[in-house]
Structure 1
Amino acid sequence: MRRDRATDGKPIIRLTSGLQIGEGNLAAGLGLIALALALACLSTGLGSTETGMLDLLHSLAGGAIADADAYALWNVRLPRIVLGFMAGWSVALAGAMLQSLARNPLADPGLFGLSQGSITMIMLLLVFFPAASKLLVAFAAVGGGLAVALLLIGLVGGERSSGLAILLMGIAIETMLSALASVLLLYTPAETSYALSDWLAGSLFHADWQLIGTFAPLFCVTPIAIFLIGRALSAYDLGNDMAMALGEPIARSRPLVLGFAVLLSSAAVTAVGPLTFLGVLAPQLAGYVSPAVGRARLFLSALTGGILVVGADALTRGIGADIPIPIGLALTLIGVPLFVVALRLQALRKMHSH
């Protein structure tokens, strides 16, 4: 491992295996990890029960704490923090993948129709089979997302098709599925419609260790996926023709990227409901913190997504612990102002650079 400079003059760390890491990206990654840990520590102390990080450390050391404190920490707050981070990480990672695939900063699982495919299948299942198990709901979510992905590939065509064509077709499919979801909400019984509306707002209220255990295997695979897919997405960022000129097998890698994005978004939708706009928001904020490509961009985007969801959940519990604010709404309240400020600062930075 040695320090070097990339072709654009930026300092990098070059590993003996040939891989290179930008020093700015490395510093940003470490800073985001520290921020995630700080938010998690802060979040353990937010809620109606007076307990927090000191009690958690005391419990981990084998000390005794009150039953109410133990329940609040181990059964409510920690599951929400862990599941929120995992869901935010997954949606943001899927969004970053799809943006490279489409070469469009607005692409995300929702705009491609992948999330809506999962949502619609879950809604159909819960309308006709209200007692469906969590496992069946998860399979329905993956099936709906995969169906949309296969439809996209089938309608758009082969490897010469552009990312813009995939995005536009995804928007058309998403619009049609949204209309179907609206019909289901309008014409189902009132109790079912209310439950579906509540779920569509996004929620961490049902977070528990069993759900985390179901989500964990996919989450643990994501670092491997980042390593394997990152190089292909660096080529996609240059356009299809350039990617093929560099030897990227688009006919094989594009379905793989779409399929993995489906798995990530479907798992998040099943666990917490749709996290609207996060797939667009997190990669853009990560790009403002530290511009990156390939693996570094995927990793920083995923970290930012996890931080945003944990931060939004902490905000809801800090402002009104007794008021159940859906995580989707809280994410909009905290994320959109950050997004606007980041875009404004980025515009000012470009103006001063010229």
Structure 2
Amino acid sequence: MIRRARALDGRSVLRLGNGFQIRLHNLAAALALGLACLALAALAVSIGAQEVGLADLLRSLTGEPLDPASAYALWTVRLPRIVVGFLAGWAVALSGAVLQSLARNPLADPGLFGLNQGSMVAIMLLLVFLPAAPREIVPLAALLGGLGVGLLLIWLVGGARSGGLAILLMGLAVETVLSAITSILILYTPPETSYGLSAWLAGSLFQASWSGAAAFAPWFAVGVIGIAVFGRSLAVYDLGTDMARAIGEPVTRSRPVIFVFAVLMSSTAVSAVGPLTFLGVLAPHLAAFVSPATGRARLVLSSLMGGALVIAADGLLRGLPSTMALPIGLAITLVGVPLFMITLRLRTLRRLQAP
């Protein structure tokens, strides 16, 4: 049974029979972001050198054949990029939102914790020393590298006895060391390998494919399900570790498990498209500006925002002249950072005008 009620702050909510409630403004924001993702995807289908668009996609779905060039541009290039980009944006934004709650720091990000660096170093070592290794094991290498850094952080900070600041500072230290290793690998590998690694480190959807999406999807599903199950605890962690422990949250067990799932999401995204710089910070803050939320609602809104930003950035890239080939990470910066600055400015003005 679902009924409309009011929360303690006076806002309207939909309350289920088991006590679970959904704030109407969060639900409206999620629907709006979902529609925005669909609109951006429809627009992205039509962007590119080959003149093919949404109408051709609909005709193809009804069984009408397309010419080979249009079919290749649509089904082999554009649609895989949209799907992989959306999943990767969702994963990075979700990981960033989780880490911000665990660390109680609005700037927490998979890159700041060294998780991205761990995945990148593992992949780079694989590509440099085992270049003939099958590409199917690249996601596994990224996962092992990210999980290795995550487990190292959990061990170094002493589990539940430490706060989020300790995890953040230790993550910065680990990230610095791994960045040095990355620089050494780029400097002292052959020029062609170094160039390829440098391009990949900036984030890229150039090699997106249906096989890559199929390899990404199972890990993505495991991470989303795991965080959905334990996401309710994140609203408690926003109050602080001591408060969470005082109201009965099993911090010793839940925080490492949530942390591992966050690592899983960021690692799989790195293996698919490379690091998406700043997205883990950017998407949760933009989502919070659209509709302030806590717990699982915040995770859903942040994830949708991350997917929308990546689709928009990729569409921007493909709309540029063909002689310009920017990595997706730089495009996200060009699209997202101005929005982030405008958001912060509007927040400041809103606070100054508040009575």
Query: TM-score category by the smaller chain?
Result: over 0.9
SS at match of 2:110: coil
**Cα distance in 2, alignment partners of residues 176 and 267 from structure 1:** 22
**Cα distance in 1, alignment partners of residues 131 and 344 from structure 2:** 43
**Cα distance in 1, alignment partners of residues 76 and 212 from structure 2:** 12
**Cα distance in 2, alignment partners of residues 211 and 227 from structure 1:** 24
Matched residue, 1:173: 174
**Cα distance in 2, alignment partners of residues 14 and 257 from structure 1:** 26
Kept in 2, the 8 Å contact 1:87–1:272? The answer is yes
Number of aligned residue pairs: give it: 354
Kept in 2, the 8 Å contact 1:76–1:208? The answer is yes
**Cα distance in 2, alignment partners of residues 262 and 162 from structure 1:** 18
1:315 aligns with 2:316: yes
Matched residue, 1:238: 239
Call closer, same or farther: CA 1:59–1:327 in 2, change over 3 Å: same
Kept in 2, the 8 Å contact 1:48–1:322? The answer is no
**Cα distance in 2, alignment partners of residues 271 and 281 from structure 1:** 20
**Cα distance in 2, alignment partners of residues 219 and 138 from structure 1:** 11
Matched residue, 1:202: 203
Deviates more, 1:316-325 or 1:145-154: 316-325
SS at match of 2:159: coil
How far does residue 225 in structure 1 lie from its aligned partner after superposition? 3.0
**Cα distance in 1, alignment partners of residues 272 and 227 from structure 2:** 22
Extract unaligned runs of 5+ from structure 2. Answer: none
Deviates more, 1:102-111 or 1:140-149: 140-149
**Cα distance in 1, alignment partners of residues 215 and 126 from structure 2:** 20
Q: One-letter code of the match for 1:309?
A: V
SS at match of 1:159: helix
1:104 aligns with 2:115: no
Provide, for residues 175-209 of structure 1, a one-character-per-residue CA deviation record: whole Å limited to 9, x for no partner: 11001111111111111111100110110000110
Identical-residue share of aligned pairs (%) = 63
- Show structure 1 runs of 4+ deviating over 4 A: none
Kept in 1, the 8 Å contact 2:227–2:258? The answer is no
SS at match of 2:161: coil
Q: One-letter code of the match for 2:252?
A: A
Provide, for residues 123-179 of structure 1, a one-character-per-residue CA deviation record: whole Å limited to 9, x for no partner: 111111112222222121111111111111111113120000000000000011001
Matched residue, 1:143: 144
Q: How does 1:218-297 map to 2 (within 5 A)?
A: 218-297=219-298
Matched residue, 2:192: 191
Matched residue, 1:157: 158
Provide, for residues 246-283 of structure 1, a one-character-per-residue CA deviation record: whole Å limited to 9, x for no partner: 21111111111111111111110000000010000000
Matched residue, 1:217: 218
How far does residue 222 in structure 1 lie from its aligned partner after superposition? 4.7
Over the residues paired in the alignment, what is the CA RMSD in angstroms? Answer: 1.1
Provide, for residues 211-264 of structure 1, a one-character-per-residue CA deviation record: whole Å limited to 9, x for no partner: 001111233345533431221101100001111122111111111111111111
Q: One-letter code of the match for 1:303?
A: L
Call closer, same or farther: CA 1:189–1:117 in 2, change over 3 Å: same
Deviates more, 1:8-17 or 1:44-53: 8-17
Call closer, same or farther: CA 1:80–1:140 in 2, change over 3 Å: same
In the superposition, the TM-score normalised over structure 2's length comes to: 0.98
Provide, for residues 108-137 of structure 1, a one-character-per-residue CA deviation record: whole Å limited to 9, x for no partner: 110011111001111111111112222222
SS at match of 1:51: coil
Matched residue, 1:94: 95
Kept in 1, the 8 Å contact 2:112–2:172? The answer is yes
Matched residue, 1:54: 55
Provide, for residues 285-326 of structure 1, a one-character-per-residue CA deviation record: whole Å limited to 9, x for no partner: 000000000000000000000000000000111122453221
Kept in 2, the 8 Å contact 1:233–1:294? The answer is yes
Provide, for residues 94-118 of structure 1, a one-character-per-residue CA deviation record: whole Å limited to 9, x for no partner: 0000000000000011001111100
In the superposition, the TM-score normalised over structure 1's length comes to: 0.98
Q: One-letter code of the match for 1:141?
A: A
**Cα distance in 2, alignment partners of residues 293 and 218 from structure 1:** 25
Extract unaligned runs of 5+ from structure 1. Answer: none
Matched residue, 2:343: 342
**Cα distance in 1, alignment partners of residues 132 and 275 from structure 2:** 21
